[in-house]
Amino acid sequence: MTAPVVDTSPKVSDEIRKTTCYMCACRCGINVHLKDGKVAYIEGNRDHPVNKGVLCAKGSSGIMQVNAPSRLRAPLKRTGPRGSGEFQEISWEEALELARSWLEPVRKSAPEKLAFFTGRDQSQSFTSFWAQNFGTPNYAAHGGFCSVNMATAGIYTMGGAFWEFGQPDWDHTKLFMIFGVAEDHDSNPIKMGLGKLKARGGKVIGVNPIRSGYNAIADEWVGITPGTDGLFISSLIHVLLKAGKVDLSYLAQFTNAPCLVNATPGSSEEGLLIRNDDGKPLVIDRASGTLQPFDKQGVKPDLAAQVDMDGVTHKTVFQHLADRFLSDDHSPEAVSEQCGVRPGRIRAIAAELARVAFEEAFELDQPWTDFRGTRHEKMLGRPVSFHAMRGISAHSNGFQTCRALHVLQILLGTVEVPGGFRFKPPYPKPVEAHPTPHCHSKPDCPLDGPHLGFVRSPADLALKEDGTPARIDKAFTWENPLSAHGLMHMVISNAHAGDPYKIDTLFLYMANMAWNSSMNTRGVMDMLTDKDENGDYVIPRIIYSDAYSSEMVAYADLILPDTTYLERHDCISLLDRPICEADAAADAIRWPVIEPDRDVRGFQSVLVDLGARLKLPGFVDENGAALYKDYADYMVNHQRRPGIGPLAGFRGNGTQTGRGDVNPDQLQRYIDNGSFFVEHVPDEASYYKPWNAAYQDWAVGLGFYDAPQPYLFQLYAEPLRRFQLAAEGHGERQPPDHLRQQIKDYLDPLPVWYPPIEDGAVDTEAYPVHALTQRPMAMYHSWGSQNAWLRQIHGRNPLYVPTKIWQENGFNDGDWARLTSVHGEITVPVAHMAGLNENTVWTWNAIGKRKGAWALDDDAPEATSGFLLNHLIHELLPPKGDGLRWSNSDPVTGQAAWFDLRVRIEKASAPAESQPAFGPLKSPVGKGPATVQQKVTS
């Protein structure tokens, strides 16, 4: 019998267009196959630096994203009460004029009365430019409720962080330790890296209360108690220091470990680094025994130096660090019970880290020159790398936990060395290379500078003359001084409370704040619909832009419908969050590979139009004429600094990179090149980037900064100490008395661990169980909610319960449970999971949906058995009797403490559907068809 002939590669398209995926934030390259002008198939682009042809389930399901029935079809003006979902379709001209008529008086009288916040979009350098020219201080993206702890701890410690800022050296690493990472995160790149690592016989240690995704394929899984990662890491540091297994040479050369700390008691300099008249930190040179600036040529800094001056002995950062971490408080025995990890296991992991870092060290035959002018003939490799994300950062102790992890990496000498963690250009960049926050607004004027930045001291806080917060989200205040990404989760509740002031217009993009992006979801819906004594909405106007009929749509007054990602121009820019790899600078575009079949416009083009209508500087010329036709025009012609634009590739005559004149053909050059541009890091510059003269020169050439700026890793974070000094009474800007102790306790310049703040605010015996969410690998936030293929993978989300709690409650398959927090209760279906911390329950994030949203049927599983944990979490902690309500955030950065949640669980009789249930919203797009069919014939 002859085998049937099967064509495994049928021709499915008559044209292939290359663009960039946006089914999650990894931004892989994709080849979109078109048949008769319709998307027929999506495959990975093998030439692309991010994914090299790999495509995940989400990426290939993009075809159902551009066909989703939930796509908005035209601008909408609210006709019914807020929350009803009743709208009328209007023209773009009417919509834009309406927006202009609302925003123009605000700009001319009090620009701060516009609060403009965006979700997980990828055009923040553009949206912030718009907001800055509007003049409002109230702008940020979603980072405050996502992973600002990770970003800030990374920048303040080593000038870069995980995710877009860096990656393991997948080609050389042998031991990879991953903390609190959901499996959707950095999806294809991590999966490809894990594949490489495992093929070489490398080892993966996963630290996460939940054993799913990356943790499921880890060689070792540490099912840690939520919120105790910092304690566990501190104990690893304790063991390594005690055994002398730290990289002293690396610490002495490249970190502030040898810098001397001023010990003069009670002085305004106490705890700051001792500096010379040029402001350079001083070290003791081992050869001469003299005080020298850290970067002087030939200096060999002494980690153990002590200096007596004016009767006071000053010690190095390294000695302060050793004093802290060698304390018995950090011994494995002391932390074991809280972390849920046996002492022997902590010692074994520390020993494994030390063995691989030091006994499997290797050298690359690559000479390089450091910033002190010293030539090194080899590059020393330490093949241990780390990665971490939201699991450790979304706690109220997350900033200091992330700091502790970076300090562990640095003590092992595994950052920016072969085999370790590597930065992706334009990182590394020290704090000093970033702006400070700006907040001074004046009628009819742009803001005085960029909104977001990195504070160096209390002088940089966003406070008004009278000391009250300048921003609606109270970012950069004494409550959370280092809130580099703002606090989006506080915007609606503060605007509703008129605290610190009332606003006029709330303008949101791609942020589902009436559902899965908010804590206290029901409360937020009430705030958005609440009226004052005159019958007017407390938040007077809400403008929202989204591509889909999400829950938030029903709560807006004006909807500006966005396109899908295949119908638009986008810019994945080096000015923003680019697609670089450790070996290359890269950026990318999206372009309309298909035309919209609805009356929708790309949001960024809408902002360009609105900017011109409002005559914002940067959007009109001196005669008031529009500078840009649309976002594509802006991407090509805008220059942030002379010669530096949103896109780094094909500038000038098409051959210039980084710096260069505008090239009118730039977008076509990108399209011809697969929609990306890549420039490789020279070999001599590929590691040791913060201290490598060749890298610094290359970075200046590309325009990342204008002069070389080598710096030291900050084991000791001096900016935090400046806040403590203020809390101790030094300086002109003083915190309110009720915050002094908090600042002294939490803004410690060395990593410190304290229990999640909710643990001290609730009775943990009444609420003994931790509750978490994770994003699934096949769905990114709620973006997949309307995707017919992805819904088949994740259409419902049981509450996963560990064996101990399952047995204690006598649960069986099909049972339901009531989960109660100090804030509320939900009743939901349960499922048993053995690979789970024994005191933790969890569920997938953002699967539960409200009836009427996303064009789903009212009996869709997402709306009947799906649910959100958000109902159990509040943006404020419970009252503690001092007359104040404290934010449920990290007191250093303001990061939303989603994962501090404590609950109790009990068996419940099965309700008709998950509780709380909400009435259906009216859908402005109707419902989807029963079946979706598309046949491609060759």
* Positive/negative CA dihedral, 404, 406, 409, 413: negative
Nearer to ligand SF4, 120 or 927 (CB): 120
Q: Which two tokens stand for residue 191?
A: 């999966």
Structure tokens at 583: 């070996």
- Judged by CB, which is closer to ligand SF4: 28, or 257? 28
By beta-carbon proximity to ligand SF4, the closer residue of 131 and 579 is 579
Q: Distance (Å, rounded) from C-alpha 630 to C-alpha 568?
A: 11
User: What's the closest the beta carbon of residue 803 comes to ligand SF4, in angstroms?
Assistant: 32
In the complex, the smallest distance separating the C-beta of residue 186 from ligand SF4, rounded to whole angstroms, is 8
Pick from 668, 673, 647, 671: which is nearest to 659 by CA?
647
Query: Residue 55 Cβ, how far from ligand SF4 at the closest point, in Å?
Result: 5
Q: Which CB, 537 or 789, lies closer to ligand SF4?
A: 789
10 Å CB burial of residue 37 (0-12, 13-18, 19+) is: exposed
Q: How far apart are CA 758 and CA 901, in angstroms?
A: 7
Closest to ligand SF4 by CB, 189 or 418: 189
445/715 Cα distance (integer angstroms): 41
- Closest distance to ligand SF4 from the beta carbon of 624 (Å): 40
Rank residues 21 and 357 by Cβ distance to ligand SF4 and give the closer one: 21
For the CB of residue 26, give the shortest distance to ligand SF4 in the complex, in Å: 4
CB of 790 to ligand SF4, least distance (A): 10
> 313 φ, ψ to 5°?
-95, 125
The number of angstroms, rounded, from the C-alpha of 779 to the middle of its chain's C-alpha atoms is 17
Cα distance between residue 133 and residue 607, in whole Å:
12
Which is nearest to 826 in space by CA: 920, 906, 919? 906
For residue 60, the minimal CB distance to ligand SF4 (Å) is 8
3-state DSSP assignment of residue 827:
strand
E strands, 137-219, in order: 139-140, 166-168, 175-179, 203-207
Chain position carrying tokens 């005669």 = 623
CB of 390 to ligand SF4, least distance (A): 16
What's the one-letter identity of residue 223?
A: G
Task: Look up residue 542 and give its DSSP letter.
Answer: E
Overall residue count recorded for the chain in this entry = 938
Show Cβ contacts of residue 919 under 8 Å, excluding neighbours closer than 6 positions. Answer: 851
Pairwise CA distance, residues 422 & 420, whole Å: 6
What interhelical angle do 737-746 and 718-727 show, nearest 10? Answer: 150
CB of 845 to ligand SF4, least distance (A): 16
Minimum distance between the CB of residue 171 and ligand SF4, rounded to whole angstroms? 20
Torsion of CA 126, 129, 130, 136, to 10 degrees: 140
Query: How far apart, in whole angstroms, are the C-alpha atoms of residue 821 and residue 838?
Result: 18
C-beta closer to ligand SF4: residue 192 or 326 = 192
Question: Closer CB to ligand SF4, residue 61 or residue 895?
Answer: 61
Q: Which is nearer to ligand SF4, 487 or 572 (CB)?
A: 572
- Tell me the C-alpha distance between 389 and 26, whole Å: 14
Residue nearest to ligand SF4 (CB): 59
To ligand SF4, the closest distance from the beta carbon of 188 in angstroms equals 4
Minimum distance between the CB of residue 271 and ligand SF4, rounded to whole angstroms?
A: 44
Per the DSSP assignment, residues forming a β-bridge with 572 are 588
3-class secondary structure, 416:
coil
Binding site for ligand SF4 (CB under 6 A): 21, 23-24, 26-28, 51, 55-56, 58-59, 187-188
- If the CB atoms of residues 44 and 660 are measured against ligand SF4, the closer one turns out to be 44
Rank residues 56 and 411 by Cβ distance to ligand SF4 and give the closer one: 56
Give the residue from 575, 573, 544 showing the smallest Cα distance to 561: 544
**Which residue number, 29 or 230, has a Cβ lying nearer to ligand SF4?**
29
* Nearest in space to 507 (alpha carbons), one of 839, 822, 103, 906: 103
> Cis before residue 916, ω within 30 degrees of 0?
yes
